Structure 1
Amino acid sequence: MTNSDSGGSRRETPLEGATAEFIAERDGNYAQNLEYVLEKWTDWCADQDVRTLDDVTPLTMRHYASSLKRRSKTADGDGISASTARTYYNYVSALLTWAVEVEYLPENPAEKRKAKKPLPTARTNSGEQQFWQPEQRHAIINYVDERAREAIDERGTDAFEAIRNRTLITVLAYTGVRGSEVLADYRDERRNGLRWGDVDLENGVITVLGKSQNPNEEVGLTGQTIEPLQRLQTLLDSPANSWPVFPSRHPPSLYENIRAAGHDVPDGDPWEFMLENGIEPPSMSTSGARTVLKRLSSEAPIPDLDTENGEYLTLHGARRGVGEALFREHGAQRAQRTLRHADPKTTSQMYSHIEASELGEANTAVFDDESDSH
């Protein structure tokens, strides 16, 4: 590019080159997050025939904001959160701010009010967001435990689905892991579900692709999760470490894997056919897990859950419930470490309602003592 002070004409800067240059100046998890988001953004721009920095206008960014809003969560929990949508937008805005700094652009089109207007509004009241309350956690765990025992008594080795569900619910309820870290997310081909090769039961650790894009992020397993995982591992008896820990039994997905392995679709049970022939099953998806949670929430006696109006225990509610319990018992640092928040502010904001409540209680005692002294 020719500097505007030189009297020459400006040449347009390709988006891919600019993003590569911008990311190269950053490091650590922030750089990894930027790379992932900006790669998706440049692909989106290419679909809009936007290929250079000069092609990016406030209208371009308004359309991008609208696309993020369409991807944001619906009432049943599908999609990205409003805060995630805003984070993605801010990453792109950071690139364009940098482009202004290095004189690739005269101004940042992402910061125009009309560009940002379609972005979804993030909830700021941490107490309004769902978390699995202790009574709800105990109720759902007791329910899936009972269903697993009954299935074993009635069907023996054919009790797989009940045992898988018990294991999944237990891992979600006690580790604080994100659903997309242990289940397949078909919006991101790298998130194909937790594999047995990533499970270390001896040391009580699973290795996941974290939100930071670190593929080797370790999550500690609590004692409550070990036995269910051992039982599931024994029952599945997978021939390879590449098999998913939480397989799907969705028939169309099973048939697809059977055909991909070079077999004709069987007349009988596709699940049994896959096990008999050593065909790797697909991983349960986040969408499939939400379906399971909706069903279990309606079946189990879960307190303080308005199932008649469609309320159910959500994937992220499990994670927040873990953080809630740890925050109350051990403080922000333990919750932050367990939930693997890169920024302590994230943990503090998530559980600000607890801090406010505890401050209120403590301050009550102060003023009670004051009134007693008069």
Structure 2
Amino acid sequence: MTRGHNPEGMTLETAVAEFVAERDGNYASNLEYCLKKWVEWCQKRDCKTVNDVSTLTMRNYASYLKRRSDAEEGIAATTARTYYNYVSALLSWAVEVEQLAENPAEKRRAKKPLPKATTNSGDQQFWSPEQRRAITEYVDERAREAIAVDGTDAFEAVRNRALVAMLAYSGVRGAEVLADARDDRRNGLRWGDVDLENGVITVLGKNQKREPTPIPDQVVTPLERLETLLGSPADNWPVFPSRHPPSLYAAIDDTDHDKPDGNSWGYILETGIEPPSISTSGTRTLLKRLSDEADVPGLEDDDYLTLHGARRGVGEKLYRERGAVAAQRTLRHADPKTTSQMYSHIEASEMAEDNTEVFDGE
């Protein structure tokens, strides 16, 4: 492609399109999604061309990522730094094609606000077997009690049991099965994407592609009971509906139905209106409550079992019991190095044990 001289500079949309076109595979998909989000962020700040991107622009972007990382329902520090690095790669490319004199993202003062990423994999939370057992046994007991007392009205407890099982045993990312307010495409797992007979769900992966994901029997059974309670829900129904009244009334308002005077959830079931999915934020609130009620061991006073801690816990168990390949395949890491880095503390511990045996005979 021949690029004519543009005194105002190449537009950000054009830069992203040309940069991504030179890349392949999952990396290109991730780049395109993240860079388009960055372009939207820039345009709100009247930054429209590569020439408009200054060191201050990138410092402000780093601060924005830091705030997202610090937020209760925010992104991981490593994810924040990955997003920044994607933008920096784009700007380095702009330098290569002579659209920029230098890369402002590489200036020290631009990168300074970025959150510090945890380098020790053992310092990151993962659900231990004891913690996983405590919370799954608790929600299972609550579901059984609710069914005994309320029968078909025991929806919330049965949903919570299925949701916790999904997080505890499948290794999915929270945003793959829950609604994410930051991404309209992530509106929660749907029953049409669930194959209980074969133990497979289909999710929108991190690579922005739909991926089949295995779910073990520890997840299938609670989902079967939830499906039965809902009475074979429509394929477009979310697997984990929200019971948040304002959200339910908003869903009702989007239809031609009259607004109910009382039980919004009962009205949803009666009319077949599609409810919203519980969100990642709502699930974090739920996990805080359940962690406290279940008296989960190994948590400090204000700690709780996190969404991503569930995923790491699945990988941790598989890595120890079945090896790196099993963990990588279940977690769907495109690069084996990602899995190795995530569980490097296990490798170090195993090496320490081996080395101890070597020297024990001296």
Q: TM-score range by the shorter chain?
A: over 0.9
**TM-aligned CA distance change 1:259 to 1:10, over 3 Å:** closer
Q: Does 1:143 align with 2:138?
A: yes
Residue 6 of structure 1 is matched in structure 2 by none
Which of 32, 37, 49 in structure 1 is aligned with 2:34? 37
Residue 25 of structure 1 is matched in structure 2 by 22
Residue 332 of structure 1 is matched in structure 2 by 324
Q: Does 1:296 align with 2:293?
A: no
Question: Is the Cα contact below 8 Å between 1:2 and 1:11 reproduced in 2?
Answer: no
Q: CA deviation at 1:162?
A: 0.5
Residue 244 of structure 1 is matched in structure 2 by 238
Question: Is the Cα contact below 8 Å between 1:205 and 1:221 reproduced in 2?
Answer: yes
The aligned amino acid for 1:320 is R
CA-to-aligned-CA distance 1:76-122 (integer Å, 9 cap, x gap): x4111111111111001111111111111111111011111111111
**Alignment root-mean-square deviation, CA:** 1.3
Which of 238, 248, 253 in structure 1 is aligned with 2:247? 253
CA-to-aligned-CA distance 1:207-231 (integer Å, 9 cap, x gap): 00111111x2111010111111111
Which of 346, 353, 356 in structure 2 is aligned with 1:354? 346
Paired residue secondary structure (2:321) = helix
Paired residue secondary structure (1:71) = helix
Q: Does 1:226 align with 2:220?
A: yes
Residue 287 of structure 1 is matched in structure 2 by 281
Q: Does 1:315 align with 2:307?
A: yes
Normalising by structure 1, we get a TM-score of 0.94
CA-to-aligned-CA distance 1:112-152 (integer Å, 9 cap, x gap): 11111111111111111111110111111111111111111
The aligned amino acid for 1:261 is T
- Structure 2, unpaired ranges of 5+: none
Question: Is the Cα contact below 8 Å between 1:2 and 1:10 reproduced in 2?
Answer: no
Q: CA deviation at 1:10?
A: 4.6
User: Partners of 2:12 and 2:309 in 1: how far apart?
Assistant: 38
Aligned residues: 360
The aligned amino acid for 1:135 is E
Normalising by structure 2, we get a TM-score of 0.97
What does residue range 42-191 of structure 1 map to in structure 2 within 5 Å?
42-74=39-71, 77-191=72-186
Q: CA deviation at 1:328?
A: 0.5
Paired residue secondary structure (1:191) = strand
CA-to-aligned-CA distance 1:283-302 (integer Å, 9 cap, x gap): 00011111111111111132
CA-to-aligned-CA distance 1:304-348 (integer Å, 9 cap, x gap): 122xx2111111111111000001011111111111111111111
The aligned amino acid for 2:136 is I
Q: CA deviation at 1:264?
A: 3.0
Q: Could you tell me the percent identity over the aligned residues?
A: 70
User: Partners of 1:128 and 1:94 in 2: how far apart?
Assistant: 29
**TM-aligned CA distance change 1:213 to 1:139, over 3 Å:** same
Larger-gyration structure (1/2): 1
User: Partners of 1:56 and 1:117 in 2: how far apart?
Assistant: 17
User: Partners of 2:296 and 2:58 in 1: how far apart?
Assistant: 43
Q: CA deviation at 1:242?
A: 0.4
- Structure 1, unpaired ranges of 5+: 4-8
**TM-aligned CA distance change 1:362 to 1:276, over 3 Å:** same
